Each structure stands twice: as structure tokens, then as C-alpha cells.
Amino acid sequence: MTQQHYDLVVIGSGAAGLMAAMRAAKSGASVLALEKGAAFGGSSAKSGGGIWIPNNPNIAAAGVQDSAEKAFQYMRDIIPASQVDDARIKNYIDSAPKMLEFLEASTQVSYTPVAGYADYYPDVEGWQPGGRTMAPSPIDGRQLGRCSIACWRPLRPARRWGSSR
């Protein structure tokens, strides 16, 4: 077996792993993404592709008002300080919109704020009634080439109405 060398080896093909692989490849690195499962996608493949990105340009374009301060207050109130420090939360709030811009510029997928998809904890300061969750535009899976949809984690078969299976 011939040994291969890569600038970056990404373990796991969920949203974070594939984003890291794409960012590195777009920067000129040689990348190998490894997945232990039979298909790509991790748990992200079952999420519908929605991502929670507070205070991003797409929210403002849709007329939803948000701010880094409100997002920080919300996250700080729901995440124990013993688990995540202020600097990390602020870094996410600052970096996540930039990641969204990179993702849209690098793919054929656009993201739209879901107006009625509220933050999970309405009794927490900084809560928003909608707009922070971003939904991806549909794509044609055939554009994936030889891998096509067969390489991605299959969704659970839908149950028929009234079916007990």
C-alpha cells in the first residue's frame, strides 16, 4: 500500500468536519475526510441542514432585528460558565456570520432566516421569536456526481398515516 500524505485529515463528516475540510481545501490544502459510518453526514444529515447563526447579514436583510449583545446574553444565560467561557461565546457570535458568508460564497447553497423558528428558551434574556435559525436552499443531489445521494446517511423511512410499523 502506498502511503498518502495530506495537509489535513478530518475525522467525521458532520457539519463541522465537512466545513473544516472545505475551508482547508479552498485555502489550497490537500484534505482527506474520514467517516467511520457507512455514509457521510453524521447527525447533521438528519437535521435538515438548519444552522443557528445569530446577528448575521441574512437576518437583517429579512427585516429581523438582532444584535451581538442580545445573542451573547441569550447564550450566556443558557450555557453554564463552567462549561464555556465568555470569550468562546463571543468568538462564536463574531465568527458564525463569517462562516455563513464563506459557505454561501463557496457553494450553491443559500441560507434564509426562518421567521417563525423561535429560540428554544423564551424565558431567557436575549431570546428571539425567530430568524436566527437559517434554512438551506434545496439542491439537486445529482450534482454530487458519482457519489450522489447513495453516499449520504439515509433518512428514516416515512411512516404512512395510520401505519403501526
Domain ranges of the chain: 1-47, 48-151
pLDDT in tens, 112-135: 999 889 999 999 999 999 999 999
Of the candidates 146, 137, 140, 131, the one whose C-alpha atom is nearest the C-alpha of residue 111 is 137
- For residue 69, what pLDDT band results from cuts at 50, 70 and 90? very high
Inter-residue contact 45 to 153 (CB < 8 Å): yes
5-57, pLDDT tens digit by residue? 999 999 998 889 999 999 999 999 999 999 888 777 877 777 778 899 999 99
Distance, in Å, from the CA atom of 124 to the CA atom of 66, rounded to the nearest integer, reads 15
Cα dihedral 68, 132, 48, 137 in deg (nearest 10): -100
Report the interhelical angle of 15-26 vs 86-106 (nearest 10°): 60
Q: Which residues contact 95 (CB under 8 A, 6 or more apart)?
A: none
Please report, as a single letter, which amino acid is at residue 45: A
CB atoms within 10 A of CB 72: 19
Which residues is 111 bridged to in the sheet? 136
Q: Per-residue confidence at 102, pLDDT binned at 50, 70, 90?
A: very high
Q: pTM (2 decimals)?
A: 0.78
The separation between the first and the last C-alpha atoms of the chain, rounded to the nearest angstrom, is: 46
